[in-house]
């Protein structure tokens, strides 16, 4: 291991010149007496207590709405990324509490049905001139505007996380192929970031999560595909030929999440330095790119998954039409009253969403002790459609499927 890989001089703590910006919040946070937690530990617990975090257990990682208890969901993915990020941060002497908080929250705004669901919502947003939709930005929206936690007086309040955690979440994209990763210097407006992966994180801990995201999914996708039996013998041989470049003695049954993740972590820690930033060796980096290409070709685009994509598209488009195109701000109250008779589960939950986040029923919002931000004004058609888009993006796979079946059933 590289004993020179000591990043303590850029660790996010009180000695870092970025510290005050990193721990800043959009509003002052209420405080308990004798609270033992650091700012980032408080963020971690606020994320874990949110409902968006809980819904990750029923959101797709790669295999849609899995009924197999042992196949990875979005919840398991964020926990795996948190473990990887914490391990790397600990070895490099970075702030592992910050890295863990970012990792646990990084996919909280992910669409149902994984990246395909994200693509469908992107298409809906573009067709209706709505706010741009990409899951890193949506995770920031959910962290800032949607997710709430009950305060010490029993009121629902927005999470109000630190700048460093919010920044790491919106900059976490692990899809971009970069060998060297370093943080940016400027503390920009996070909503000015226009596309995932184009901006470096503000902290080294955010950069660690960006890399850990890729480490976390790439091995697990292979393990799940093997367990489902969707990789043919020649595909396994193709994969081994790629991996043998750096691991000449590995066998296919050893190509699991644990061994692959461990090897990538070791390689990253052995090759990273303050001068170069976080990086893999050249041969490891090339293998990582080839394995990712293999996964997209043979797993993400497998015929069985492609068939389900059509079903997922139908579900999301049908629900958007049901909630978005049949209603406007001028008649939403009357229509919801009628639709609740036909579709009681969907419209009861949706009405609760409108009450909490819009001017649908301000008296009831107050009665429910919701002090979170009011986001949507229903007399504005675009705001209303953005409201529907956000509602759909927060759904779990299972709730989206159940809602679809309620809509199409008699």
- Do 77 and 69 meet the contact criterion of CB atoms below 8 Å apart? no
% residues pLDDT > 70 (the chain): 95
Mean per-residue pLDDT of the chain: 90
pLDDT value at position 176?
Answer: 56
pLDDT value at position 219?
Answer: 81
pLDDT > 90? residue 304: no
Model's pTM, two decimal places? Answer: 0.94
pLDDT value at position 311?
Answer: 95
Cα-Cα-Cα-Cα dihedral sign, residues 275, 279, 284, 289: negative
Q: Give the 3-state secondary structure of residue 407.
A: helix
Q: Mind listing the domains of the chain with CATH numbers?
A: 8-108+147-221+256-281 (1.10.3210), 303-408 (no CATH)
CA distance 197 to 199: 6
Q: pLDDT higher for 326 or 355?
A: 355
- Do 396 and 112 meet the contact criterion of CB atoms below 8 Å apart? yes
CA distance 67 to 64: 9
Segment 40-80, tens digit of pLDDT = 999 999 999 999 999 999 998 888 777 778 888 899 999 99
CA distance 63 to 3: 40
How does DSSP assign 220-277, residue by residue? Answer: HHHHHHHHHT-S-HHHHHHHHHHHTTT-TT--GGG-SHHHHHHHHHHHHHHH-BTTTB
Segment 280-289, tens digit of pLDDT = 999 889 888 8
Q: Which residues of 286-310 are buried (b: 16+ CB within 10 A; e: fewer)?
A: bbbebbbebbeebbbebeebeebbe
pLDDT > 90? residue 33: no
């Amino acid at each position: 291991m590289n004993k020179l890989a000591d990043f303590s001089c850029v660790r996010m703590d009180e000695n870092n010149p970025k510290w005050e910006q990193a721990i800043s919040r959009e509003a002052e946070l209420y405080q308990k007496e004798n609270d033992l937690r650091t700012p980032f530990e408080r963020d971690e617990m606020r994320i874990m207590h949110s409902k968006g975090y809980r819904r990750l257990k029923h959101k797709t990682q790669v295999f849609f709405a899995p009924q197999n208890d042992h196949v990875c969901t979005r919840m398991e993915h964020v926990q795996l990324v948190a473990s990887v990020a914490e391990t790397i941060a600990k070895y490099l002497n970075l702030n592992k509490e910050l890295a863990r908080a970012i990792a646990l929250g990084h996919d909280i705004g992910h669409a149902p049905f994984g990246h395909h669901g994200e693509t469908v919502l992107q298409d809906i947003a573009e067709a209706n001139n709505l706010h741009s939709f990409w899951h890193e930005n949506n995770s920031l929206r959910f962290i800032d505007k949607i997710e709430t936690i009950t305060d010490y007086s029993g009121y629902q309040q927005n999470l109000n996380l630190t700048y460093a955690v919010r920044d790491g979440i919106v900059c976490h994209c692990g899809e971009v192929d970069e060998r060297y990763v370093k943080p940016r210097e400027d503390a920009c407006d996070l909503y000015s970031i226009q596309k995932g992966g184009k901006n470096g994180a503000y902290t080294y801990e955010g950069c660690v999560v960006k890399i850990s995201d890729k480490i976390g999914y790439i091995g697990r996708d292979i393990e799940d595909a093997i367990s489902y039996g969707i990789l043919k013998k020649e595909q396994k041989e193709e994969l081994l030929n790629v991996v043998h470049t750096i691991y000449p003695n590995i066998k296919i049954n050893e190509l699991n999440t644990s061994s692959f993740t461990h090897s990538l972590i070791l390689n990253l820690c052995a090759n990273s330095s303050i001068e170069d930033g976080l990086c893999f060796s050249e041969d490891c980096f090339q293998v990582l790119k080839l394995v990712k290409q293999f996964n997209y070709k043979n797993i993400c685009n497998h015929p069985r998954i492609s068939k389900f994509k059509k079903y997922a598209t139908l579900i999301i488009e049908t629900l958007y039409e049901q909630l978005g195109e049949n209603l406007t701000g001028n008649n939403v109250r009357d229509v919801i009253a009628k639709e609740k008779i036909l579709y009681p589960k969907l419209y009861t939950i949706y009405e609760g969403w409108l009450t909490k986040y819009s001017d649908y029923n301000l008296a009831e919002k107050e009665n429910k002790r919701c002090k979170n931000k009011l986001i949507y004004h229903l007399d504005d058609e675009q705001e209303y459609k953005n409201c529907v888009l956000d509602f759909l993006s927060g759904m779990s796979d299972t709730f989206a499927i159940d809602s679809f079946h309620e809509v199409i059933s008699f």
